[in-house]
Amino acid sequence: MEALFKIKQSGSSIPREIIAGLTTFFAMSYIIFVNPQILGETGIPQNAVFLATIFASVAGTLVMGLFANVPYAQAPGMGLNAFFTYTVCMGLKFSWQEALAMVFLCGIINILITVTKLRRSIIRSIPPSLQHAIGGGIGIFIAYIGVKNAGLLKFSLDPGTYTVFGPDPATSAAEATSAAVPGLVNFNTPGVLLSLIGLVLLMVLLVVKIKGKPFPAAILVSIIVTTLIGIPLGVTDFHVGKTEGLREAFAALGTTFGAAFGKDGMQHLFGDASRIPLVLMTIFAFSLSDTFDTIGTFIGTGRQSGIFSESDELAMQDSKGFKTKMDKALFADSVATSVGALFGTSNTTTYVESAAGIGAGGRTGFTSVITALMMLLCIPLVSIAGVVPSQATAAALIAVGIMMLSSFREIKWNELGEAIPAFFAGVFMAMAYSISYGIAASFFFYCIVKVCKKQAKDVHPILWVATALFIANFVILALL
């Protein structure tokens, strides 16, 4: 065990890694149930997507743990699955088989740019101030996810300011304009009350420090206690789930597995020459978002926790092949996307919720192995992940977000030239609910600032190219 994961060398322990793996699993397990609902609107059998989500997550997370030896979990990304469904399939009228083919090609592209060291060059091109801003921004983003999962927010919508995707408003997804106004919910429902109890409990445990090791123990205790309190409140559901549909689910998986290469997938995707430019730009949009989501997550959580040390990042500059942990992690993330498309799901990416497990003390790939094993257990016990309510893990995400805000202290906020791009990387990221969009905005304003200060030569060429690609992506999406 030590020879494979170097747990003691990383300053961790087996119990701590197990706690971290469980924490990451419970923080991200919602995707097992949400992903089939979103992708199911394209016509993909939902029970097939359920299994595809698990298999893609397990495969990607195991590669991350066993090959890269880092505590990150992978699963189909939220936002990328919405882009897959509502933009690519519903908006651009591609079939779900064609969309899967594009996701597979996106993964191949990401593998190529990883093997050719382009991804590592992108990381090195980001200035230190923006890297610190990205770290703090992901902290805000994670905390916002926690607040959202806790059910503490409500949004007021005016008539005519939102669009419903589907025939039934009660069961279909909707998209609102910026007229939506966020607000605090009334504390009069069991779910909200349980969230408050869990949040207060975790903050108290963190302050009093449980036996000298506050964070891992505090998270585990708060999740268990909050889950138990949720029983009399009617929030925690111990229904284990039914397995009689398992055979049907595997049968349905046969229709999605490899569909990306069938006559309705890859073969049909490039059959119409007039659509090829649109196909290429859609693949590019997939790849761009996936790449910068992953890079942002690694920068924001890896440096803060020491998983990716500064020496490890420097070693990437001269290393050949996959010798550093960052090299291996980037390669693992790239492979996972193509594997996910093979099973029948949208882009598989590194989950920002992994920060909850890292905050709980996870430092090695053994954390990822535990998370992957928990994912596998969800196959015969369909509802096992639902036993722990989102209210019980929301507090952990908020606490991790709070701790990550320390990255902001490295930014010179009194210098507007540094503060302006840092704001977009640090705050706009959460507002846009997208790591890649926050990074895109920060790149854009960083370039503007440098041009205005007559320091354009200080901007790395890769940063100029990335900024131009982001702008092109936004323009194309606006014209679709």
Domain chopping of the chain, boundaries: 8-479
pLDDT at 124: 78
Nearest alpha-carbon partner for 113 in 473, 475, 465: 465
Q: Phi first, then psi: give them for residue 76, nearest 5 degrees.
A: -55, 130
- Torsion angle defined by CA atoms of residues 78, 80, 82 and 86, in that order, rounded to the nearest 10 degrees: 180
pLDDT at 168: 65
pLDDT at 265: 92
Cα–chain-centroid distance for residue 277?
A: 28
pLDDT band at 18; cut points 50, 70, 90: very high
CA distance 325 to 316: 9
Q: What does the pLDDT look like over 99-140, one tens digit per residue?
A: 999 999 999 988 888 887 776 777 778 888 888 888 788 788
pLDDT at 146: 84
Segment 256-274 mean pLDDT: 89
Q: Is the pLDDT of residue 211 over 60?
A: no
CA distance 443 to 440: 5
Least confident of 97-106, 284-293, 340-349, 371-380: 284-293
pLDDT at 100: 96
Q: Is the pLDDT of residue 425 over 90?
A: no
pLDDT at 72: 94
* Helices marked H in 116-166: 118-125, 128-149
Q: Mean pLDDT: which of 85-94, 119-128, 365-374 is highest?
A: 365-374
Q: Is the pLDDT of residue 268 over 80?
A: yes
Q: Is the pLDDT of residue 52 over 90?
A: yes
Q: Is the pLDDT of residue 244 over 60?
A: no
The better pLDDT of the pair 416, 479 is held by 416
Q: Is the pLDDT of residue 321 over 90?
A: no
pLDDT at 444: 94
The better pLDDT of the pair 423, 319 is held by 423
Segment 182-191 mean pLDDT: 90
Segment 395-417 mean pLDDT: 84
Please provide the DSSP assignment of 286-353 as one string: HHHHHHHHHHHHIIIIIHHHTSS-HHHHHHTTT--SS-SHHHHHHHHHHHHHHHHHHHT-S-EEE-TT
Residue percentage of the chain with pLDDT more than 90: 31
Least confident of 205-214, 251-260, 392-401, 427-436: 205-214
pLDDT at 241: 45
Q: pTM of the entire structure?
A: 0.71
Q: Is the pLDDT of residue 327 over 60?
A: yes
Residues 144-180: b if buried by 16+ CB within 10 A, e if exposed: bbbbebbbbeeeeeeeeeeeeeeeeeeeeeeeeeeee
pLDDT at 104: 94
Please give the mean pLDDT across all residues of the chain. 83
Least confident of 70-79, 253-262, 373-382: 373-382
Q: What does the pLDDT look like over 1-11, one tens digit per residue?
A: 888 898 988 88
pLDDT at 313: 60
* Amino acid making up residue 149: N
Q: Is the pLDDT of residue 33 over 90?
A: no
Structure tokens at 52: 């595809």
Q: Is the pLDDT of residue 240 over 50?
A: no
pLDDT at 53: 92
